Chain A
Amino acid sequence: MPGSKFVYVTYIRTTPERLWQALIDPKFTRQYWAGTHQVSDWKVGADWKIMIPDGRVGDSGKVLEFDPPRRLKVSWRNEFKPELKAEGHSFCTYDLEPAGSAVKLTVTHEHPAENSKTIEAVSGGWPHLLASLKSLLETGESLLESRSWPEGV
C-alpha cells in the first residue's frame, strides 16, 4: 500500500472513558501534550485544531469520526512549519479497546504521500507524548519535558 504510516500501541491502566477524556480535554492535554490544547465542537464534520500556548495554531483539520470512548479520527495538517503544511492533510486515528482492566490505545497516523515529512515529524513526537499520557493516567504526573512547548519551535 502506498503512503506513509506511523503506528503506536500502548497499554494504559485506566478506563476507556478516562482515556478518551484525557485525549481531548484541555486540562489533561496541557499536562502531557507540550502545553497545547485542542479546540473543536467534537462532532463529525466539525473543525478541529491544536493551539500552541503562545496562541499560534499548531495543526488543524476536521473531525472525521467521533465514537466515544472507542474511536476518534481527525484530518491533520501542520500549520506552523511551511514544508509540512505544504504536504496537506494527514489522518490520525485513535482506537481505544478495553484489555482486561487496562485499555489498549492504538494511534495510527497516515499520509497518502510516500516518505511524508509530516509522518516523519510526528513519528518523533508521539512516543514521548504517549509515554507521558500513560504516566499521567497511572501516576498522576506527566513527564516534565512534555508539559511545556519547546523553546524556539
Chain B
Amino acid sequence: MTEFTLNNIAIVFITASPHRVWDALTDPEVSAKYFMNSRVTVGPVGGDYIVAANGQVSVSGKVLVREPPRRLRVTWVVPAPSGMKFPNCEVEFLIEAAETTDGSDVTKLTVSEFTNGPVDPKFQRAGRTGWALITSGLKSWLETGAPLPRVKLQPPA
C-alpha cells in the first residue's frame, strides 16, 4: 500500500460561520450555486459522496469522515481518460473559525487532495484550477448571495 500524500491544496477565507460553510459543502441545493452546477450529496460515514449535474455523475466516492461543522473527508473517484489510470484520491474539507478582533464570523476552509501516487502535472494543474473555481464560487455565493459567472474550463492539454 502506497501512502497518501498531499497533491493539491486550496485555502480560502470566507465571511461566514463554519456552520454556513458546512451546509454549503453538504447541501445539494447550495452546491449547485458554486460547484459547476453540480448537486453534491453526502451520506453518513460509509455512505456515498456523489457529485452530479443533470443526472450525470462526475465524482462518486464514499464518506470517510463526517464531523459537522469541522471536517469532511471522502474518497474521490473520477473516471480517467481512456488508456490512463489515476492514483487513488481522497479529499478533505477542513473548516476552521478564523480569529477576528470584533468577533465576526470568518471561516478558513482548507481543501486538501491526497493521492497514493504521482499525478501527471497537467492534471494536477487542472485540479488546482478546478478547486480554485469551486472555492472562489463558494466564497462569492456565501458573501454576496450571487454565484460567480459560469466559467468554462479547458480540458487538460
Contacts and interface: CB of A to CB of B under 8 A. Distances in A.
Contact of B140 (A13, A100, A143): A13
A150 B149 CA distance: 34
Interface in A1-49: 7-13
B104 interface: yes
B23 interface: no
A62 interface: no
Interface string A94-126: 000001111010000000000000000000000
Interface string B91-132: 000000011111010100000000000000000000011001
B77 interface: no
B13 interface: yes
Contacts of B140: 13, 134, 138
A70 interface: no
Contacts of B135: 10
B149 A143 contact: no
Interface residues of A, number: 23
Nearest to A126: B11
B102 A143 contact: no
B136 A10 contact: yes
A78 B132 CA distance: 27
B13 A102 contact: no
A72 B83 CA distance: 40
Interface string A58-91: 0000000000000000000000000000000000
Q: How large is the interface on B (under 10, 10 to 19, 20 to 34, 35 or more residues)?
A: 20 to 34
A127 interface: yes
A93 interface: no
A135 to B, nearest CB: 6
A contacts with B: majority SS: mixed
B151 A9 contact: no
Contacts of B143: 135, 138-139
A144 B101 contact: yes
B14 to A, nearest CB: 7
A99 B151 contact: yes
Nearest to A98: B151
B92 to A, nearest CB: 17
A131 B12 contact: yes
B15 interface: yes
Contacts of A99: 149, 151
Contacts of A143: 13, 15, 106
A12 B132 CA distance: 10
9 contacts: A8-B132, A11-B136, A11-B148, A11-B151, A13-B144, A101-B149, A131-B12, A135-B143, A138-B140
Given A101-B149, A128-B13, 13 more contacts: A13-B140, A102-B148, A104-B129, A127-B11, A134-B140, A138-B143, A139-B15, A143-B13, A143-B106, A144-B104, A145-B98, A145-B99, A145-B100
